Amino acid sequence: MAPTTQTDSLFADGISVRLGGRGILSGLDIPPLPAGALVALLGPNGSGKSTLLKALAGLVPARAARLALGATDLRPMAAAARAHYLRYLPPGLPADVHLSVFEAVMVALRARPGAAPATNAARRVAAVLDELGIAALADRYLDELSDGQRQLAGLAQAMVHEPAVLLLDEPLTALDLNHQHHVMQILLGLAHERRILVVLVLHDLDMALRYADQALLLTHGALLAAGTPAEVIRPDHLARAFSILARVESSSLGHPHVLVSGLADSFHS
């Protein structure tokens, strides 16, 4: 795991969110998440993963006993102020925005308080597009891209700030295999080399096993398990969370994989 410094960990205790008159998260306690860690947020559809990320980012009304980045209390901050510290990337970018990729990433960069001067900003945008391997898309319009290309552009918008915390909601969903691994390796680099805390929602458990430092498994708005991916992605947890019969085995390359042998409806909690 990445080295930790307690001072810039993200602390989230007693997170409660009500939406549409229903309690979605009820006093959820998250273990401290250290700077420099890649954290996989796992769980079935509707378990509260997106709601949790939005609550951290201040994008849904939430109550919290503690929500802090190191010594900085995030609770009094509105979403715009919190975005200086935490960037939330939704699962899909709107497909009807007629901006070029370069312009969209530049707008995201310039929106930050104390933004860099224009020449530095242009260089920074070009560097992020290059890092993500989408420099060739710079002049293409967002509404003329494929879903995966648009997802990479969204990731560039989130990354260009180098915030303390990146909250990425299913960033791999529209990506091909090459881009999935490419993006995970970039995110791992951001975490381990630049000390950014990256929390990302993944449905692909093999990706979590392979790349994440820590994993959080949500079911019904509560934390079922937290720890290393190997501690969390276990047959008993998978049965309870996803109602599947599964085991984890190492491939001939030494990578752990989840092998599903069937559905286990009787385990559904």
Ligand X SMILES: Nc1ncnc2c1ncn2[C@@H]1O[C@H](COP(=O)(O)OP(=O)(O)OP(=O)(O)O)[C@@H](O)[C@H]1O
Contacts with ligand X, residue ranges (CB under 6 A): 19-20, 24, 43, 45-51
51 binds, among Mg ion, ligand X, none (CB under 5 to 8 A by kind): ligand X
Tokens 């648009």, residue?
150
Pick between residue 35 and residue 207 the one whose CB is nearest to ligand X.
207
Instruction: Using CB under 5 A, pick the residue from 9, 50, 157, 180 that binds Mg ion.
Output: 50
Alpha carbon distance 57, 78 (integer Å): 9
**CA–CA distance, 212 with 152 (Å, rounded to integer):** 20
* Minimum distance, C-beta of residue 57 to ligand X, in the bound complex (Å): 13
Ramachandran category for residue 75: left, alpha or beta (phi over 0 → left; psi -120 to 50 → alpha): alpha
Closest approach of Cβ 168 to Mg ion, in Å? 11
Taking the C-alpha atoms of residue 124 and residue 257, their distance in angstroms, rounded to an integer, is 37
DSSP assignment string, 166-201: EEESSTTTT--HHHHHHHHHHHHHHHHHH--EEEEE
Residue of 194, 135, 192 whose CA lies nearest to 159: 194
Amino acid code (one letter) for 48: G
CB 64 within 8 A of CB 14: yes
Write down the least CB distance from residue 43 to Mg ion, Å. 9
Query: Residue 50 or 180: which CB sits closer to Mg ion?
Result: 50
For Mg ion, which is the closer residue by CB, 147 or 236?
A: 147
Residue closer to Mg ion by CB (options 8, 170) is 170
Nearer to ligand X, 159 or 201 (CB): 201
Stretch that binds Mg ion, among 19-27, 32-40, 50-58, 71-79 (CB under 5 A): 50-58
Choosing among Mg ion, ligand X, none, which partner's interface includes residue 254 (Cβ < 5 to 8 Å by kind)? none
Which of positions 171-210 make contact with Mg ion (CB under 5 A)?
Answer: none
Among Mg ion, ligand X, none, what binds residue 119 when CB lies within 5 to 8 Å by partner kind?
none
Question: How many other C-beta atoms are found inside a 10 Å radius of the C-beta of residue 187?
Answer: 22
**Which of 50, 149 has the CB closer to Mg ion?**
50
When CB distances are held under 5 to 8 angstroms depending on the partner's kind, the choice from ligand X, Mg ion, none that residue 219 binds is none
**Cα–Cα distances in Å, from 58 out to 34, 39, 43, 52, 64?**
20, 19, 21, 10, 11
Residue number, nearest CB to ligand X: 20
| Interacting residue ranges for Mg ion, rule: CB under 5 A | 50
